[in-house]
Amino acid sequence: MKEKFLNAFKEALEIEEDKVEMSDVMSDFDTWDSMSRLSLIALLDEHFEIEISDDEFENMTTVQDLYDKVQTKVQADG
């Protein structure tokens, strides 16, 4: 699941590099903006069939924060 999540994250932010650290701060990525955030929300819905609200996003800083939220929602739906 982690690899699938990271692939969706990199796709949404148009990141070509192989390495994204879970401790990376999402807003530190050069391509992070409101459009990439919307793209990420859509891709997470597509790949994991979950919805993450803007309010939930406001409480997340790192890639790990987002991954934890995805895991929680997938487990709750599963």
Tens place of pLDDT per residue across the chain (78 aa): 999 999 999 999 999 877 899 999 999 999 999 999 999 999 999 999 999 998 998 899 999 999 999 999 999 976
Check residue 78 and give its pLDDT: 65
Check residue 27 and give its pLDDT: 95
Instruction: Name the CATH topology of 1-77.
Output: 1.10.1200
Tokens (6 digits) for 37: 């955030």
Angle at 26 between CA 45 and CA 36, to 5 degrees: 50
Give the SS3 label for residue 52: coil
Do 50 and 44 form a contact (C-beta atoms < 8 A)?
yes
Q: How many residues does the chain have?
A: 78
